Amino acid sequence: MDNNVNPEYFERVVQVNRVSKKTKGGDKRSLSVLVVVGDKKGRVGVGLGKAADVQSAVKKATAYAKRHLIEVPLKENRTIPHTVLIKRGAAKVMIRPAKSGTGIIAGGAVRVVVEAAGILDVVSKILGTSNRASNVYATLEALQQLKPIIRESKKGSKP
């Protein structure tokens, strides 16, 4: 009854690439799959899997992503604490917090990562390359750069 489907994780295949390698016996063809996994509660991961068929590649990518989840600080469990502009290779991604009710205003690659992390209100712009894989990794790096808002208690106040 389980069928290897885990309802607690949101999984989305972002990209499927056909890759080939020249060998002595001819071309060796395989598939490379990029998967984003998240629990929609502030944890998200990205995995890249390679295999002869799509299903095996997805399984490998998902397993890797689940092992390498990162924690994303959320403000009021809806948006991110502050604006982040990140450049990773040719990818340039800007992510900004948005007020409640705005929703996810983001391009395909960024949208998938932000959705998996459980962020409900955010505004984003992809400024560099249109390469989906590069943009996914840049978004993940941007989310790692986020710092949680720490509420300070009043110092020196007497009870």
pLDDT tens readout for residues 76-126: 888 999 999 999 999 999 999 999 999 999 988 999 999 999 999 999 999
pLDDT-derived band at 3 (thresholds 50, 70, 90) equals very low
pLDDT of 154 reads 59
pLDDT interval class at 15 (50, 70, 90): very high
Residue 123: closest CA among 88, 77, 78, 91: 78
In which residue ranges of the chain is CATH 3.30.230.10 found? Answer: 72-145
Residue type, 14: V
Written out in words, the top-level CATH class of the domain with range 72-145 is alpha beta
Check if the beta carbon of residue 51 is closer than 8 Å to that of residue 30: yes
Closest by Cα among 118, 73, 74, 122 to 98: 122
- pLDDT category of residue 129 using cuts at 50, 70 and 90: very high
For 10-70, CATH gives: 3.30.160.20
The arithmetic mean of pLDDT across residues 47-72, rounded, is 95
Decide: 141 and 106 in contact? Cβ < 8 Å. no
